Structure 1
Amino acid sequence: MAIFSVYVVNRAGGLIYQADFTQPKTEVEKTFGFPLEPTLKHYDERMVVSFGQRDGIKVGHTVLAINGMPAKGRQLEDGRDILEVVANPENYPIAIKFGRPKLSTNERIMLASMFHSLYAIGCQLSPEQRSSGIECLETDTFKLHCFQTLTGIKFILLTDPKQTGIDTLLKKIYEIYADYALKNPFYSVDMPIRCDLFDTNIQALVEQIDRGGVYAGNA
């Protein structure tokens, strides 16, 4: 999938829409002997690695499952506390599956607000007047693209670094927003976007791009 996520941020920096089109991949599953290495801790409703990177397991990775049983926060699916399970020598050898953490809703809201502030800082730091602000941030694994409308609404895409035609894609998303959100009589600008037609057309657009096709729109 070339398009990873779509975000829409309102004029005040609030997150009003977000959709993911990929799931975090499992990084590693490993069987350990007692005592457990690495060190785990509870953080923001997740059990994460806090120390002891090894064999592809990195600090910040989340415990996804133990001995095939899914983890839910600090507990396993059967209600057992994860820290108690890994501290008991009788449970070893033990197989633990680790993966990159999925962002919580609160984290997404916070990051959207942070980007809104960075965008404004970018405008102020520019040596030229009327700077557009941050339009693209690039890493080795993804690119962040931002298009701000004249009214101040920001459309943000996370894509594969090799994805092309982003400017056109962002404008297509803006057109979908104008057609299916703004024309909805029950929608007010800057409010969260809760429109089935908007969701459907965003999904169709991403699927068309993934297949290398041309987006035609859905009524």
Structure 2
Amino acid sequence: MVIYGVYIVSKSGGLIFNHDHNIPKVETEKVFSFPIDLTLEYDPKKVSVAFGQKDGINVGHILTSINGVAVNGNTTEEGNDVKELIENEGNYPLTLKFSRPKMTTNEKIFLASMFYPLFAIASQLSPEPKSSGIEVLEADTFKLHCFQTLTGVKFMTVAETTQTGMDVFLRKIYELYSDYVLKNPFYSLEMPIRCELFDANLQGLLEQIEKTGITNI
């Protein structure tokens, strides 16, 4: 069982903390003949799949190597232009490796801001008064668990669908937040959390869960 990450969202919907814990690296390498049956987008910082998917290569995946040579932006480590290599029939067959890109901080901030109104809508749609909003959001490959405090701060974790005891885990994180963050006289509720003691104790909690299980924390 795996916990992928932890997120804390402020009362106003801003992402104030995130921690990537055990996100699997997804890579796919394939030999292509000319022309390749994927549509690529050539951005100055990356080459990504814009259309088409096959054999584990999906839209949004980025090109990381050509014939074993790493790709940085639009060029290889040897200084060759990626677009020229791929569009030149004489270079084929080519072995291209693609990987799922790591989510950027800006993307995480955007997702947190999207979850905030969804949580509010869920509370309003509930037939019962004083709904707690979204507590579990389940997909086919993960579950998002959410715990909202009385002050409106949301603690969220993304884990495998089989991971149990996430409600206990989120309350343990809240205890760490109360002990190491809220007791700081210079901290404001809307500020990003930058606290080494909180980071260290959260990492220790995650490692303890991996070793002993959620029921022993």
- TM-score, normalised to structure 1, is 0.90
Secondary structure of the residue that 1:175 maps to in structure 2? helix
- Distance change >3 Å, CA 75–CA 129, structure 1 → 2: farther
Point out where structure 2 has 5 or more consecutive residues left out of the alignment. Answer: none
Following superposition, the deviation at residue 45 of structure 1 comes to 4.4
| Letter of the 1:169 counterpart | F
- Distance change >3 Å, CA 76–CA 105, structure 1 → 2: farther
- Distance change >3 Å, CA 204–CA 148, structure 1 → 2: same
Task: State the identity as a percent.
Answer: 56
Decide whether the 8 Å contact of 1:40 with 1:83 is kept in 2: no
Following superposition, the deviation at residue 73 of structure 1 comes to 3.6
Decide whether the 8 Å contact of 2:44 with 2:74 is kept in 1: no
Could you tell me how far apart the structure 2 residues matched to 1:44 and 1:144 are? 33
Report what 2:106 is aligned to: 106
Following superposition, the deviation at residue 102 of structure 1 comes to 1.5
What's the CA shift string for 1:140-197, capped at 9, x where partnerless? 1110000000001000000111111111100000001111111123322110001111
Report what 2:142 is aligned to: 142
Following superposition, the deviation at residue 90 of structure 1 comes to 3.8
- Distance change >3 Å, CA 42–CA 18, structure 1 → 2: farther
Could you tell me how far apart the structure 1 residues matched to 2:79 and 2:115 are? 37
Decide whether the 8 Å contact of 1:10 with 1:154 is kept in 2: yes
Could you tell me how far apart the structure 2 residues matched to 1:84 and 1:176 are? 53
Report what 2:210 is aligned to: 210
- Distance change >3 Å, CA 88–CA 24, structure 1 → 2: farther
| Letter of the 2:113 counterpart | S
- Distance change >3 Å, CA 74–CA 105, structure 1 → 2: farther
Decide whether the 8 Å contact of 1:155 with 1:174 is kept in 2: yes
Report what 2:84 is aligned to: 84
Secondary structure of the residue that 2:194 maps to in structure 1? coil
**Correspondence 1:19 to 2:15:** no
Count of matched residue pairs: 215
In terms of mean alpha carbon deviation, does 64-73 or 153-162 score higher? 64-73
Report what 1:30 is aligned to: 30
Could you tell me how far apart the structure 1 residues matched to 2:93 and 2:77 are? 19
Alignment of 1:22-101 (within 5 A): 22-42=22-42, 45-101=45-101
Following superposition, the deviation at residue 42 of structure 1 comes to 3.8
Following superposition, the deviation at residue 10 of structure 1 comes to 0.5
Could you tell me how far apart the structure 2 residues matched to 1:151 and 1:79 are? 54
Could you tell me how far apart the structure 1 residues matched to 2:184 and 2:78 are? 44
In terms of mean alpha carbon deviation, does 91-100 or 41-50 score higher? 41-50
Following superposition, the deviation at residue 48 of structure 1 comes to 1.8
Following superposition, the deviation at residue 124 of structure 1 comes to 1.2
